[in-house]
Structure 1
């Protein structure tokens, strides 16, 4: 029989349960109050800051990019105000798809931009559907620019009809402008800007660089790229309060942007204007003249001119053809425009021939070969036969620019540009040191001297994308053979088809067997600047400057100084010496006198008649480089005590014939020459030589020419 609990025991259990429940409730309240105390008192400041951060967003204020000016303070690149139309995505996102679509279409019609393009511009880079070059890299709270350089009437019409264009923001921003003093182009020197890429932005952020942001435009070529970090300035930031829906409620503070620094260049706009015009005229004249070798007019597909200070390596002027308008990048370039800039049919306008074009130097090469010979066993009294041709192996190597002169000196050979004279020099060194065609380490004094003068490597100019040229010596030929032998051996192993010419098929068979061999023909071609050796016009100008200044090689410089927004000089960019040519003064002096002879009675003389050579001494060397399958390349390399002037026209004919008149006109502008009169006051640069001082930058924004010591 089981007994039940007494009433007393039941009451005790009930009270015990109540006590436990009360204790549990009390502990929960204690925990809650402790947590509230922690959140509101202990961590209150931290959470308050986080809440404020969620309601305040930063909008980037882009800085005004620095100016680029010439040596006299003339603006080459400035800034101008542009109407920009943007879309606020935080407002767009609140619209229905139908309303948004109609708004975009209405805006597209106003600003003449396709609606599809606008939609692509609104996508953040990295999101699904984003297109590189169109997607938005900037802040998600910043209006996205969808049309730049909008006509003022269009901008005002949109502003006057806000009810028809909700989410559309219209304001004025600064963009690059090109004043073109003296009508100059200078595109390949100045370069251009384009929006920063996602990878570039990530790299900048990883490196702690706050000078760029998702909406930045950065330099892509020329000095715009080379000196980008100075020119770009530092962005500012405007804080705006937003509500929980992301709508802007008002300003909450601003950090002003810092304008970029000014780049003072060594370019003289007046000289540049003369150089560009003379290059353009020379090409036009060449295209109107008949080439008896090919039976058609000269193509004259490209050209370049370089003017350097002989004693410093500074670039006074540099022009290339074909060229382009750097202004096409302002406001965004179209696919059609970009396609043309890269088009071979249009002449690849983006390629700057002065620093990136590579051409056989022809007879302008001979002074450096003379230096190699006179420092390796030959002397100034050496006489060699300038015959009409020289037989090497089973081939006759002929004179092209001169006739037969019999036994002559190096000076006379330079004066009349005798090929066979230099053929004999190249053949002699090959027979003495390099008749083993497979020996890639054989001594070659001519190759070594070409390297001493800086050929085969970049000059180090302060421009991106410079080409290195090529010295086609034994090591290069071996490397080229190793890289191409499989292709040519396969081609020669098959029966000849209709698409393969006899020449190509025969070449493939010979190359497959002995394409590595450096033969006598290679050596004699090298001695006159033919064959596979190529140089840039800038390399040639730098090497002639070394003859002019006694043997110093400089890294050419365009930048002269960096000046802050307040006008103080931040940094002077000094000439940079990068090497010394090991040639005795007596040899340099001998070459110098010989090149005077080229101007007075040699191959350039017929273009210099009446020029006051007793007052302004010009040394020169002409060249007509043969190119397989093309017309010859016209060259004139020249220098005075102050300057070096080099001109090249690809497929332009003879050196003095095509380039001669233009080079003379440039010299006349540099020294203020009219007829036989030298008038320094008429010179393109006041005082005839570039100023040592910098332009003066005043507080009111005006720029004054540099003061001269002689004034």
Structure 2
């Protein structure tokens, strides 16, 4: 915070008191002077007041002190008030022997939402001349704050609050204050002329945008620390200390910051904490001030008010730098204190071990990929992982992709409700044409599974043409209704970014055919597809949940899943594993696994590529794996899902 050192000289004025002046004219003139002073005190302290703008004190007289000297003195006193501006109300002039005075009530909103710091001071007036309509203000430090001595200044110091932790399953602490090292330019250690060059050198050293950082350093006050980057303690680049030594003003500050166990742990969902941006301050100046720490993204931003708590502040009277008291190490005087209020924790359902496992199995994927694991019995999301290929985006719970053949779980339910059974014979042909559009099976579809086969085999082998051939059994809305039963397609707020997918009414027969195999305009997130197979496993509509304090309920639009329907679906999805496209999971130890593979074509420029999907459930665990570009569900997503299921069993055995 910037302070201007200035000697405050008490005004020695000539003339008598108000009592020496005649009539009401003198009182009115004195009161008018006080009104002008009241406005000038507020205007001069405002953060909007320009250093070279009009002097609010120009309309007032101060005897031997000029208005510019008074402005400099006043700003020196309040410069340390962190940009706060007071409200000032000056009462009626009072006559007393030898002087004329008025009481000034000062109020500073030192802490947002708390009672302001309020106090009274005394303003003294003296006649300027024999003219009873001209008055001078006696300027002295204790006009601004009680008992403020010459040379003392006000200093508002922020008391940081303890940010609330983010916890996971079984109360495990996921995000808490962890040691960090802040790297930046300390303006008190470099002169104004050198500061831009230092900022450029540091920005290049730590690989941050040069121009914005130089601008921030140049605009900062002479005592500001302008952060360039923050490292977890112990993760600073080799040789950083030596490199910083060669940059004037470069400095490190040991601190703590709310961090997850590792840099990437659920990062797109949990979000980031750091110094507030200029845009945040501009948008909500009553809530944020430059230098505040707040949630910048993800859940940290959404629940910032809860997690952040409220900062406190102490206002001190500081002796002047050249005073005897300061030279002797005199202590600052505390004038006001409001202690910080710690933030409240945010409880999530994430399981630390399973989240770490999910990120581990995705680590070598290459293309953008995501994995969601949830508990069918209560919908708790245990893992929601995104690999580096997503570029920090939350594909896991908010991605919007064609689900391909994993959507055949929904199609199967719609067909069962239309009167088919798992034994109903269907025709699996190499191709099928709908209003001029030819559909075919995936490239390595087994020829042994062509021809007339039962519905269960069509699902096990993932025959596109067989399901499209049954489109006449369904009415408009049947597919969307089946999707809703399995938790897909009905949007509702769960307290975190969640995309439940959509199953719009088809605009054509071709589009209706594509919808049956999870293409066309059908979309889903990995979370939504994990919910679909979780609903089958649970035998009831599952609603995923992540934030414990947010109540979730099954949407009224969802028709309940009948027990017989669930049994038939589980049997068909078990066949996928024992003799179909998901047989790579057949030897996974533990309870029986049910699964469904899927691929979905998408356009990438002029090239047609395929999303790779696989969903599975085992015991009280349901998992969806999505890889943006892959060969097929079984070849690309399948091994990732298998690694996760095996790892989850090991993790469960170790608990």
The question of a shared fold, defined as TM-score above 0.5 by the shorter chain, is answered with: yes
Aligned-partner Cα distance in 2 for 1:193–1:619: 40
Separation in 2, partners of 1:123, 1:383: 76
CA distance in 1, matches of 2:412, 2:243: 71
1:657 and 2:632 are equivalent in the alignment: no
User: In the aligned structure 1, how far is the partner of 2:240 from the partner of 2:435?
Assistant: 75
Which of 100, 116, 121 in structure 1 is aligned with 2:192? 100
Q: In 2, Cα distance between the equivalents of 1:458 and 1:27?
A: 78
Name the counterpart of 2:588.
611
Corresponding position of 1:626: 601
Q: 2:215 aligns with which of 112, 120, 137?
A: 120
What per-residue deviation string (whole Å, max 9, x for no partner) do you get for residues 552-583 of structure 1? 231x23334xxxxxxxxxxx556554454433
SS in 2 for 1:557: coil
Q: 2:545 aligns with which of 557, 561, 573?
A: 557
Gaps of 5+ in 2: 1-18, 31-91, 106-119, 123-141
* Aligned-pair CA distance for 1:533: 1.9
Deviations 1:408-452 (A, max 9, x none): 3332221221212211122443xxx5xxxxxxxxx3322332344
The aligned residue for residue 16 of structure 1 is none
Show CA shifts across 1:362-392 (max 9, x none).
Answer: 1111111111122234345532222222232
**RMSD of aligned Cα (Å):** 4.2
Partners of 1:405 and 1:116 in 2: how far apart? Answer: 64
Please tell me whether the aligned partners of residues 316 and 333 of structure 2 are also in contact (alpha carbons under 8 angstroms): yes
> Structure 2: how far apart are the matches of 1:195 and 1:274?
31
Structural mapping, 1:370-449, within 5 Å: 370-400=412-442, 401-403=445-447, 404-429=449-474, 443-449=476-482
Question: 2:261 is matched with which residue?
Answer: 179
Q: Which one of 83, 95, 102 corresponds to residue 37 of structure 1?
A: 95
Asked if 1:683 corresponds to 2:647, the answer is no
> Which residue does the alignment assign to 1:485?
none
Inter-partner Cα distance in structure 1 for 2:25 and 2:399: 82
Q: Alpha carbons of 1:254 and 1:414: their partners in 2 closer, same or farther (altered >3 Å)?
A: same
TM-score by length of 2: 0.67
CA contact (8 A) 2:487 2:541 kept: no
Q: Does 1:250 align with 2:332?
A: yes
Find the aligned partners of 1:359 and 1:30 in 2 and give their Cα distance.
81
Higher helix share: 1
Q: 2:312 aligns with which of 219, 236, 260?
A: 236
1:188 aligns to 2:268 (yes or no) = yes
- How far residue 117 of structure 1 moved from its aligned partner, in angstroms, is 5.4
Partner of 2:109: none
Does 2:515 correspond to 1:526?
yes
* Structure 1 pair 29–274 and aligned structure 2 pair: CA distance change class (3 A): closer
Give the aligned partner of residue 305 of structure 1: 371
Distance between the aligned counterparts of 1:652 and 1:145, measured in 2? 45
Aligned 8 A contact 1:73 1:264 in 2: yes
- SS of equivalent residue, structure 1 residue 231: helix
C-alpha distance in structure 2 between counterparts of 1:270 and 1:618, whole Å? 21
Equivalence for 1:132: none
Partner of 1:67: 165
Deviation at 1:593, TM superposition (A): 1.2
Give the whole-Å Cα distance in 1 for the aligned partners of 2:613 and 2:493: 23
The equivalences for 1:328-347 within 5 A come to 347=389
- Aligned residue number for residue 349 of structure 1: 391
Give 1:119 shift: 5.7
Shift of 1:241: 2.4
Runs in 1 of length 4+ with deviation above 6 angstroms?
A: 113-116, 150-159, 243-249
Offset at residue 529 of structure 1 (A): 0.9
- Equivalent residues of 1:88, 1:169 under 8 A apart: no
Q: Is the 8 A contact 1:110 1:154 kept in 2?
A: no
Greater RCO, 1 or 2 (C-alpha within 8 Å, sep 6+): 1
Contact 1:313 1:575 in 2 (8 A): no
